[in-house]
Chains A and B, each alone.
Chain A
């Protein structure tokens, strides 16, 4: 069955450093992958979408890569700030449908 893995352990990094979060998947060939941010007690907020034929996508301090050979996406936040502290979810399109399957998320904490 389709499976998405995100590191369930929290990631703590120092302010100003680059945070890198990983999303691995198996039994999948998604055409699209999305990253969301979720703060405690709130709904997810869309950040970026990347297509299978795009290796990299950037938006301000955010960068996403999509390696269909490794079946992995990396999410980078450069010059991280305490305000970036949140849980980050990856979501993969399920088999050519409109449905996205979500990972469990990785909690990021940026230390001042």
Chain B
């Protein structure tokens, strides 16, 4: 039973390029969360998605960042025109029931480490 999968594990981009991070949730999970973690900082919530819907994107910068979770395929976090400050570890988590189940466990993927040169 595979856990949450993220790819790539490491991504290097030059300033101005686009970064695409992928997340496949656990089997049976239809709720996905994206977090960003900077060194020596806590995980920061970015966005919560269900299949084909963005439920809460309050933690995601308004510009350059977007996320989707299509009916088929993985969830994608897209960062356009990356800047050095985007360098961080990006984690995806999935849960079974999401909203309404406040005790629902989130299962995290291994993360994608983005480095912007």
Please, how many residues of chain B have a CB less than 8 angstroms from a CB on the other chain?
26
> Which segment of A13-21, A66-74, A78-86, A92-100 sits at the interface?
A92-100
By DSSP majority rule, is chain B's interface helix, strand, loop, or mixed?
Answer: loop
- Indicate whether B101 reaches chain A with its CB closer than 8 angstroms: yes
- Indicate whether A4 reaches chain B with its CB closer than 8 angstroms: yes
Whether A104 contacts B48 in the complex (CB less than 8 A), given A44-B91, A46-B106, comes out as: no
- Indicate whether A31 reaches chain B with its CB closer than 8 angstroms: yes
> Which of the residues B4, B42, B102 comes within 8 Å of A104, measured between beta carbons?
B42
Please, how many residues of chain A have a CB less than 8 angstroms from a CB on the other chain?
25
> Which of the residues A32, A44, A93, A103 comes within 8 Å of B108, measured between beta carbons?
A44
* Whole-angstrom CA separation of A39 from B7 in the bound complex: 19
B93: chain A residues within 8 A (beta carbon): 43
Cross-chain contact A98 with B102 (CB below 8 angstroms): yes
Whether A46 contacts B105 in the complex (CB less than 8 A), given A98-B98, A98-B99, comes out as: yes
Cross-chain contact B103 with A32 (CB below 8 angstroms): yes
Interfacial residues, chain B to chain A (CB-CB below 8 A): 4, 35, 40-45, 48, 56, 91, 93, 98-111
